[in-house]
Homo-oligomer: A and B are copies of this chain.
């Protein structure tokens, strides 16, 4: 797809400084931008690279005097960038509304006329699917589960029974929602599964990556709060309660009944112990495991996770241990020498 800079400026609501007739074909970061590409500057530290860039134009929130290339001036670079990327999105056929003839849909399921249920889906009794929602292929939607409007359920997603998925939700391929959690009692010499009568509640604007698992609750619901985003290969155990607008990166694991506040960030591979509470706005760094509660607004790291500064100090001092050990040995010698000289004086 090729359009003129003038057209692009109009489509993303930008003020264009020059070069309106130049043609552009895609958006690229500065380091990769070639002639014909539109780039963007979100951080002034990249200014020098921008000067050397052969990009056709730059999206910026401030007019820059020392830059020769045409500038697309927008109120918010990130917003302008997203708009520009959308302009150049690859052309794809949209799934058609309606139920594919190969889908197996229970009589009692209620599917909006504007929803799309793709080939080889199995939709069980009592399921409801809202307006404009797209269910891809090979999805199994269990009994009485409900999906809101404008949501997207990708291929091979399994949603068990009695789950409630909101509107504007995205669930990517091979993800499992509503599996039975890992809860056993050891009775009469065997582990006996605690039945999970509860469900899963995924609120509006939640987005979930691929091959992720969210277990149903034993009692009540496992809850993912509105606007929270979850990456690939994440494990969310039974009865976990996650607040709004959290970011939960790849390979995170959250153990049973943990309570995560609003706006929490769990970096890649982080973990939260069962029944732990993580306060609003807290950050758990990559591969760090909260075995105790985490205060709101704090940043923790390590296993077990502690305040990031404590962790960093511990790491630095640990690496220097051989040096400290040498110092202790040296001090010991010096003390021995002092002691022997004292003895000699006696």
Q: Is the CB of B161 within 8 A of A90?
A: yes
Q: Tell whether A143 is near chain B: CB-to-CB under 8 Å.
A: yes
**CB proximity to B under 8 Å, residues A152-190:** 154-156, 158, 160-162, 172-176, 179-180, 182, 184-185, 187, 189-190
In the complex, what distance in Å separates the CA atom of A175 from the CA atom of B232? 11
User: Which residues of chain A (10-46) have a CB below 8 Å from chain B?
Assistant: 26-29, 32
Task: Report A312-340 residues with CB < 8 Å from chain B CB.
Answer: 313-315, 317-319, 321-322, 324-325, 327-328, 331-332, 334-335, 338-339
Instruction: Give the residue of B184, B302, B315, B328 whose beta carbon is less than 8 angstroms from that of A328.
Output: B328
Q: How many copies does the complex hold?
A: 3
A158 is contacted by which of B154, B237, B306 (Cβ under 8 Å)?
A: B154
Instruction: Determine if B172 and A176 form an interchain contact, defined as CB atoms under 8 angstroms apart.
Output: yes
* A313 CA to B26 CA, complexed, in Å: 50
How far is B339's CA from A341's CA once the two chains are assembled, in angstroms? 10
Chain B residue nearest in CB terms to A86: B195
Given contacts A190-B227, A255-B286, 8 further A-B contacts (CB under 8 A): A26-B197, A82-B187, A156-B158, A156-B174, A182-B249, A286-B289, A313-B322, A338-B338
Chosen A-B contacts, 22 in total, with CB atoms closer than 8 Å, are A27-B219, A29-B219, A76-B187, A79-B185, A82-B192, A85-B194, A89-B197, A90-B162, A90-B197, A120-B138, A138-B140, A140-B155, A156-B158, A182-B229, A191-B227, A211-B213, A232-B235, A268-B271, A273-B286, A314-B318, A331-B332, A334-B335
